[in-house]
Amino acid sequence: MQKIKKVLIPEADLKRRVKELAEEINRDFRGETVTFICILSGASVFFADLIREVDLDVRFEFMSVSSYGAGTVSSGEVKILKDVNHPIAGQNVIIVEDIIDSGCTLSYLKRVLEQRDPKSIKICTILDKPSRRKVEFTGDYVGFEIPDEFVIGYGLDFDGRYRNLKDVCVLELTED
């Protein structure tokens, strides 16, 4: 059984921060076209909120990557389950992710996408757990740095559940 232990980031704080991130992106890319790549499924809720605060010529893409299981030695190898639909060569790309944890997923993905010669590539994440890094990795647009606790809600799941919660919450993992 799992219980929700506490609200870590309430809906209102998420809303405010998403607006700030979008404003930063609007400033940085004024007059440019930007391809936003949503990393499924965790980033879907954040992506939908962020993109509506962005005031640029935008394109949407969606990617899905496999996560390695717990206890697996992190080789940095991540499997692409669904790739973008159009080439990204010559484009400004912003990867939109739910959380940077070990950093393995994004560092692999960024390397793969860099090989496709985009004009620029940036990382936008709503959450960041810097204390958990296994590989060096920094996001360009980061919503909140959070402590080493397992969080759910606002797109993030535990075993496929809780993605629809409006707040980011901490899950209490119990034995039974």
List contacts with ligand IMP (CB under 6 A).
42, 67, 97-105, 150-152, 156
Minimum Å distance from CB 32 to Mg ion? Answer: 29
At residue 113's C-alpha, the angle toward residues 125 and 87, to 5°, is 110
101 is catalytic: yes
Cis peptide before 102 (omega within 30 of 0): no
Minimum Å distance from CB 173 to Mg ion? Answer: 17
Mapped onto helix, strand or coil, the DSSP state of residue 160 is: coil
Chain CA centroid to CA 32, Å? 22
Q: Which of 40, 45, 39 is nearest to 123 (CA)?
A: 39
Where on the chain is the footprint of Mg ion (CB under 5 A)?
42
Minimum Å distance from CB 99 to Mg ion? Answer: 8
In this complex, which beta carbon is closest to ligand IMP, that of residue 91 or of residue 105?
105
Residue 138: which of ligand IMP, Mg ion, none does it interact with, CB under 5 to 8 A by kind? none
In this complex, which beta carbon is closest to ligand IMP, that of residue 56 or of residue 152?
152
Catalytic annotation, pick one of 101, 117, 140, 148 = 101
In this complex, which beta carbon is closest to ligand IMP, that of residue 56 or of residue 96?
96
Instruction: Please give the full DSSP string across 98-144, using - where no structure is assigned.
Output: EEESSSHHHHHHHHHHHTT--SEEEEEEEEE-GGG-SS----SEEEE
Q: What positions carry a catalytic annotation?
A: 101
